[in-house]
Amino acid sequence: MKPETIALHGGFDGDPTTKAVAVPIYQTVAYSFDSAAHGAALFDLEAEGYRYTRIANPTVDVLERRVAMLEGGIDALAVASGQTAMYYTMLNLAEPGQNIVSVPQLYGTTHTIFAHILPRQGIKVRLAKSDRPAELEALIDEDTRALFCETVGNPAGNICDLEALAAIARRARIPLVVDNTVPTPVLLKPIDYGADIVVHSLTKFLGGHGTSLGGAIVDSGRFAWTEHADRFPRLTQPDDSYHGLVYTDHYGAKAFLGRARSVFQRTIGAVLSPFNAFLLLQGIETVSLRVERHVENARRVAEFLRADPRVTSVAYAGFPDSPYYALCQKYLRGRACSLMTFTIRGGADGGTRFYDALKLFKRLVNLGDAKSLACHPASTTHRQMSPEEQRQAGIGPETMRLSVGIEHIDDILEDIDQALARATASSP
């Protein structure tokens, strides 16, 4: 099936009990056992079925299958938020004393996990100075357990050279983990270019309506854990926290997600509620159409901003002179994302005046909603970073971020125009 079709039908062929066409919301905590033996068989993973919604739920299952199909993975684990997806993934790969290598252009809270949370748990994250593959490769050593990037960075809009990063990860015998939140699989399927694990904030474009937090981890199924058993013994050796289970023996190619579910989801329990899964599924049904419109509206906004003398810079990968133009052609087939940053006359003060003058754009910290959204990263999403870390992430105090929505383009441009007029009225 093509993505447009998967978005509507993937992972669900009607409810087996009622023949309901919409995915039913199984709003239940637990599932009854036929007998003591049945319960034990479920807990021993010998029988198929549900036990408790912290471990699995039929509504959430449909979402997992659909997201996995959209990304071309073998399976997915849906969790409470994009941040949970990222955190579980890293905990599932690295142990104290080991490290992760990452690009510096990151969503602010991912940066916080990398710079502050994982190091306190003994896992160092080495941030390269740029997204140039050679700089990342230079940071990898024998203790590195993952190479990480956002396929399209938030908010920098940088596009990572996935094939080059995948080749580096293969040489280093580690998985390439990517956050594909910004482009979504509609614009880019990282597994096609060698990514091993894809994480998502479903909260953004996939959900699309700004109603529900959610996250997902998708496994390509390609990383050969057993061939690298010396590096990932937690997957290939008996787990004493789960009565001696060997994940690679039990789950085969799905070992990574099997452990993420059995260890982190089961014990920490940052679970996606069935109701959120239902709402996210409603959003996913229209993701292809929405993204098409987001991309087209963003192109018009970028061109408008660039032609305007009140605007001093626009970072948009769709411009032929963008450093990311060639990568945009290669990985996104020229469809630059609807997330962009720009600066205006008057620097940080001008930017603040612009922000305050917006009428249609919502001032908030979110992206990928159907509505047009504006954010000032330095004072909000990326506030915890030092000025130098912000610069490496592609922002300064004057940077404004737009997530261009799917309203009529005339209304979007009119709002930007009037806000620019008010912001620059008194500046030279």
Residues that bind ligand PLP (CB under 6 A): 81-83, 107, 110, 150, 154, 179, 181-182, 201, 203, 213, 215, 367
For ligand PLP, the closer of residues 115 and 253 by Cβ is 115
> Could you tell me the smallest distance in angstroms from the CB atom of residue 18 to ligand PLP?
31
Helix axes 287-307, 409-424, angle to 10 degrees: 40
> Could you tell me the smallest distance in angstroms from the CB atom of residue 150 to ligand PLP?
5
For ligand PLP, the closer of residues 136 and 280 by Cβ is 280
Neighbours of 32 (CB within 10 A): 8
Torsion sign (Cα): 229, 231, 234, 235: negative
Type and span of the H or E element at 133: helix 133-139
Q: What whole-number distance in Å separates Cα of residue 85 and Cα of residue 204?
A: 14
> Could you tell me the smallest distance in angstroms from the CB atom of residue 353 to ligand PLP?
25
For ligand PLP, the closer of residues 103 and 257 by Cβ is 103
> Could you tell me the smallest distance in angstroms from the CB atom of residue 124 to ligand PLP?
21
385: left (phi over 0), alpha (psi -120 to 50) or beta: beta
> Could you tell me the smallest distance in angstroms from the CB atom of residue 215 to ligand PLP?
5
> Could you tell me the smallest distance in angstroms from the CB atom of residue 428 to ligand PLP?
35
> Could you tell me the smallest distance in angstroms from the CB atom of residue 11 to ligand PLP?
21
Contact between 105 and 393 under an 8 Å Cβ cutoff? The reply is yes
The radius of gyration computed from the CA coordinates of the chain, to the nearest angstrom, equals: 22
For ligand PLP, the closer of residues 93 and 213 by Cβ is 213
Q: How far is CA 241 from CA 141, 237, 264, in A?
A: 29, 12, 11
250: left (phi over 0), alpha (psi -120 to 50) or beta: alpha
Q: What whole-number distance in Å separates Cα of residue 320 and Cα of residue 100?
A: 33
The residue ranges of DSSP E strands in 80-132, in sequence order, are 99-102, 124-127
For ligand PLP, the closer of residues 83 and 273 by Cβ is 83
For ligand PLP, the closer of residues 131 and 150 by Cβ is 150
- Pairing mode, strands 362-363 and 144-150: unpaired
> Could you tell me the smallest distance in angstroms from the CB atom of residue 201 to ligand PLP?
3
> Could you tell me the smallest distance in angstroms from the CB atom of residue 417 to ligand PLP?
27
For ligand PLP, the closer of residues 73 and 350 by Cβ is 73
For ligand PLP, the closer of residues 232 and 316 by Cβ is 316
- Report the residue closest to ligand PLP, judged by CB: 82
Contact between 372 and 361 under an 8 Å Cβ cutoff? The reply is yes
Q: How far is CA 239 from CA 84, 197, 289, 356, in A?
A: 22, 22, 44, 54
Contact between 311 and 423 under an 8 Å Cβ cutoff? The reply is no
* Residue type for position 358: L
For ligand PLP, the closer of residues 154 and 236 by Cβ is 154
